[in-house]
Amino acid sequence: MSFKAVFILSVALLVFSCGGGTVEIDPTFEPKIVIQGTLFPQQRAQVKIMRNFPLGTVVDEKNIIIRDARVNIVDESGTSHALTFSVQRQSYEQVGPNLLIDYGKTYTLEVDATIDGQELSAKSTTTVPQAGFKILESKSVLDSMVYREKDENDKVKLFDIRFNRSPGIDFYAISILAIDA
């Protein structure tokens, strides 16, 4: 057999011996509370409380947000501050002036909700970093740009964010969201 025939036969065997891919979905489903929230110093707390859905189901956006959960933030003194659902923002917020998030303080979020007839709860504790974080706008490239935009030297432009860190913090997660993607 010639080299060409052996090569073609080898490639054909390789291609046709591959089976179809399969994805196995575990049929069991356990409802869970999904929390999306960030605490910012000198601002009031705002937290979205949602639910999960089984894979393969059609999700109605109106049913993702849980509107009747019991949501509290407990401060360092042990005082519990209830958050109230805002229809306008579709999130839980503090109504009264009693709790203002502060630098270096620890807060615990407590959530109780009923999903698919099951009473569920979630709890999380976080400490707000000390003051000091600041984006250095004069040293950063923060302007808007289109996808894969190039500069005058035909190189792809990149964002460059320079900042001062908060004391004691050596890791920052950052997220960039494409508005028109």
More confident residue, 16 or 149: 149
With a threshold of 0.75, does the pTM exceed it? no
Q: Which two three-digit tokens encode residue 131?
A: 């003051």
Q: Alpha helix locations (H) across 81-131?
A: none
pLDDT digits (tens, 9 = 90+) for 57-91: 888 888 899 999 999 999 999 999 999 999 999 99
Q: What's residue 78's pLDDT?
A: 94
Q: How far apart are CA 131 and CA 68, in angstroms?
A: 35
DSSP state, 180?
T
Residue intervals in the chain for CATH 2.60.40.1930: 33-127
pLDDT at 57: 86
Q: Which residues of 139-149 are buried (b: 16+ CB within 10 A; e: fewer)?
A: eeeeeeeeeee
State which fold the 33-127 domain adopts.
Immunoglobulin-like (2.60.40)
Separation of alpha carbons 34 and 37, rounded Å: 10
